[in-house]
Amino acid sequence: MTKASSSPSKSTLSKVTVADHPLILHKLSRMRDVETGVKEFRELAGEISLLLAYEAMRDLETAPQTLSTPIETAEFPMLSGKKLALVAILRAGLIMADAIVQLVPAAKVGHIGLYRDPQTLKPVAYYSKLPQDIAERRVFVTDPMLATGGSAVAAIQTLKDAGAQTIKLMTILSVPEGIAAVHAAHPEVEIVTAAIDTGLNDHGYIVPGLGDAGDRIYGTK
Ligand SMILES: O=P(O)(O)OC[C@H]1O[C@H](OP(=O)(O)OP(=O)(O)O)[C@H](O)[C@@H]1O
Ligand SMILES: O=c1cc[nH]c(=O)[nH]1
Ligand SMILES: [Mg+2]
């Protein structure tokens, strides 16, 4: 039996935040359970995504704005700075972006379609649609699984090619191999994840993991 995710709080890895809040860990354990069905799996993925966004967006800028409460007029913090974009790596990342957009409804949403070839484990690109002003936005890339890192590396490169400059990667499960791959290719990209698992099996699946996230979200297996 593998010991599940004993990642250090807030991580000691540079540029990696492990959001190991008890609520997140409990929900993640429910997601891992092979008995958890499609409906609950989706709900849990959405709930964890909201909690991860709380952590990932902690450094959003605010600026004081003058407002009147029913009691008095004063200055209060409102979001300022760069506008936001959520970019989902299809398919599985869509569930995260769909949840997070509830928190930041003015964010634009981009989609990058990639699937991992089961033999080579290399990402195959099949779609890309990004906000035209992506260069001016803070970008949060969403994908529940960071395994070999090939998909995240490719997606971030697509974003950079389109002009994106400020990019954070949000994942539910990561492994050291995937984190290393992202940081080898894109050292400045911060990663916010719920857990860092042990590693990968011979098929490139995260161990102990939760299986194929896309298949579990969409019921395709
Ligand atoms: O780090 P990597 O080794 O690249 O693996 C991670 C990728 O694999 C999964 O997508 P998948 O290819 O299964 O596509 P799907 O979301 O359509 O199921 C997952 O959602 C990531 O995008
Ligand atoms: O464990 C894994 C690895 C890649 N993609 C998944 O969906 N799950
Ligand atoms: Mg999949």
The protein residue whose alpha carbon is closest to atom 6 in ligand 2 is 212
DSSP 7: P
**Per-residue pLDDT tens digits of the chain, which is 221 residues long:** 655 544 444 444 789 999 999 999 999 999 999 999 999 999 999 999 999 999 999 999 999 999 999 999 999 999 998 999 999 999 999 999 999 999 999 999 999 999 999 999 999 999 999 999 999 999 999 999 999 999 999 999 999 999 999 999 999 999 999 999 999 999 999 999 999 999 999 999 999 999 999 999 999 98
Q: Catalytic residue positions?
A: 116, 120, 212, 215
- How far, in Å, is the centroid of ligand 2 from the Cα of 66? 47
- To the question of domain 16-209 being in CATH 3.40.50.2020, the answer is yes
CB 25 within 8 A of CB 221: no
> What is the Å distance from ligand 3's center to 150 Cα?
13
The DSSP letter of residue 2 is: P
Domain boundaries defined on the chain: 16-209
The answer to whether 151 is annotated as binding is yes
**Is 154 touching ligand 2 by the criterion CB < 6 Å?**
no
